[in-house]
Structure 1
Amino acid sequence: MDILVNVVLPLSLAVIMLSLGVGLTPADFRRVAERGWVFAVGATCQIILIPVVAYCVIILFGLSGAIAAGIMLLAFCPGGVTSNVVSRLANGDVALSVSLTAVVSLLSMLTVPLFVGWAVVHFMGEDAPTFSVSSLALAMFLITALPVAVGMGIRHIAPDLAERIEPKLLILSSVLFVIIILAAIASNWNLFVENFKSLGPALAVLNIVTMVGGFAIGAALNLGRAEQKTISIEVGLQNGTLGITLAPIIAGAAGGIPTIGLPSAIYSVIMYLTAAPFVLWLRTRKNEG
């Protein structure tokens, strides 16, 4: 299990980010400037709305300690590459989805270490592990920013190769992700069972409220229907893989997934169960406006 968490999981995440980079072009970043208002709404929802909802969920369900810090860790993580696929399935704005995923993922290299440092001290108090914010930022760089940059380099140098390997990379990363999540839950089965009763409903509420909230905010601001769908999905689907990967670094655990990483592992399963019916409903909404 140790090699899965400490080696295979980070490599899996790197492959996921590489697949994101391979699919990026300069036009994706120009789109951020061209559609500044819409992008700002989506990014603000991701960076602010999710942590606020997560904090409220923690209070509502009476969670504390490493579990509470773990939920905040999950909330601080950016949306995953999966959101791009789901946006396409929901007939959302895929270009906006890719732009949000890419830029917010790169920004998270700075935001996640700082915010997690606060959350760990706030919820764990004297039991808070001592970790280096700079080391966490370096880890974020190595498993997110660097693979994205390499992928973009491949796209620029060999666009034909990038077109061929992009779908294969996405399939590979998805398979690795499923294997890791199942292995993580199996190796922490007792901890999983003990906490599922309280964590399951809490994480389901987090997922549902953020998805619905993102859609409602987009509608209230008169964004196009496709943009509303995309913001809803980007806000609702968090990168649980990143949370699981960072947990051992934060907790200083030598092996396995520490308690602070458990919410990310459980969320990665629940997310699809709660998101599926909502995405099916989004598909029925015509892209008017």
Structure 2
Amino acid sequence: MGPLTTIGLPVALGVIMFGLGLSLTPRDFARVATQPKAVIVALACQLLLLPAVCFGLVLLFDLPPVLAVGMMLLAASPGGTTANLYSHLFRGDVALNISLTALNSVIAVFTLPLIANLSIAFFLPGDDGLGLQLAKTIEVFAIVLLPVVAGMLVRRWKPAFADRMDRPVRIASIVILVVVIAGAIASNLELLVENFGRLAGITVLFCLLSLGIGYLVPRLLRVERRQAIASSFEIGIHNATLAIVIAQTVIGSVEMSLPAAVYGVLMFFVALGFGFLIRGRGADAAAAPATATATSGVAGEPSVEAKRSTGSSGDPRDE
């Protein structure tokens, strides 16, 4: 691994997490109390269902052990800030997205090393784990939370500066991330090309299942639709950059980062298609009551005399 990977990737992730912190306030954590059902359902999907689904997919696709651990690492990663953008585009509850991202970032400090360590113990028995080693847990904490806390402190002490810096930091994080990932791909191109075909199917299917679970489970439990959309993108769009950084810089395995690298490219297209799908379903659902109302007058429409007596023509445009 060259300096572009060992230094550039953590710096890129740090800038991204700092940008997240600039957009957060303590109210984003307090909002959980006002939307407990949506938050609990989303977190249950994220922390319990997704690792189980990913484990099943890994066994189904019979991935080599190192790639299997890489997929589990991806499943354990929290939602990325890109989820907020998709939620905004497809009319989700962006405030809920922000709260979930904030909570997930904190929880991931504990769950990500644990799931990674259990996966390594299962798929790579005999290798040193990640989660139960104090030094590496502290490293994950530093990578994930310290930049977020720094961004939140800047917002608290200098809110006007945080507002001005929000957009430049977002742009800078995208530019840095693209440059660093492009460099990392170029330096490991042969390895990536060799495994792309093997990983494309499982990463696309995992992304679709994550999005579907994030939307359907809340809806089945009667969570409001906008919150279900937010949950869907929060659960379906994982922080692939975090998974890559943990795999390459903390665990020290480039090959283990390949599932996240492939997923990070393909998820944008999968999430976009899914967003149009649920938006279309929402439009159909909204149109159904209107159609029922419009056609109900066929069987029980008031007489012309009754309409005249009430001063209504029966034409909605007259209302």
TM-score higher than 0.5 = yes
Residues 114 and 133 of structure 1 are in contact (CA less than 8 Å); yes or no, is this contact kept in structure 2? no
1:168-187 equivalences in 2 (<5 Å):
168-187=168-187
Q: Any unmatched runs of 5+ in structure 2?
A: 287-319
What stretches of structure 1 of length at least 5 have no aligned partner?
A: none
Contact map agreement 1:181 1:268 (CA 8 A) in 2: no
Cα shift at 1:11? 0.9
Match of 2:233 in 1: 233
Flag the structure with larger Rg.
2
Q: Show the 5 A alignment for 1:56-205.
A: 56-126=56-126, 128-129=127-128, 131=130, 133-205=133-205
Amino acid across the alignment from 2:3: I
**How far apart, CA to CA, are the structure 2 residues paired with 1:12 and 1:250?**
15
Q: 1:274 aligns with which of 270, 275, 278?
A: 270
Structure 2-normalised TM-score? 0.84
- 1:129-187 per-position Cα deviation (integer Å, ceiling 9, x unaligned): 45563222212221221111111111111111111111211111122222222222222
**SS, match of residue 125 in structure 1:** coil
Name the CA distance, whole Å, in 2 between partners of 1:121 and 1:53.
18
- CA drift of 1:248 comes to 2.5
2:294 corresponds in structure 1 to none
Instruction: Give the AA of the match of 2:269.
Output: L
Amino acid aligned to 2:169: L
Bigger RCO of structures 1 and 2 (CA < 8 A, at least 6 apart): 1
The alignment's C-alpha RMSD in Å is: 1.7
Q: Structure 1: how far apart are the matches of 2:49 and 2:176?
A: 30
Aligned residues: 283
**Residue-by-residue CA offset, 1:1-50 (whole Å, 9 max, x unaligned):** 61121111101111111111111112211101111111111111111122
Q: Segments of 4+ in structure 1 off by > 3 A?
A: 129-132, 249-253
- What's the CA shift string for 1:37-86, capped at 9, x where partnerless? 11111111111122111111101111131000000011111111111111
Q: What is the one-letter code of the residue matched to 1:21? A: G
TM-score, with normalisation over the residues of structure 1? 0.93
CA contact (8 A) 2:77 2:112 kept: yes
Q: Identity across aligned pairs (percent)?
A: 36
1:53 correspondence with 2:56: no
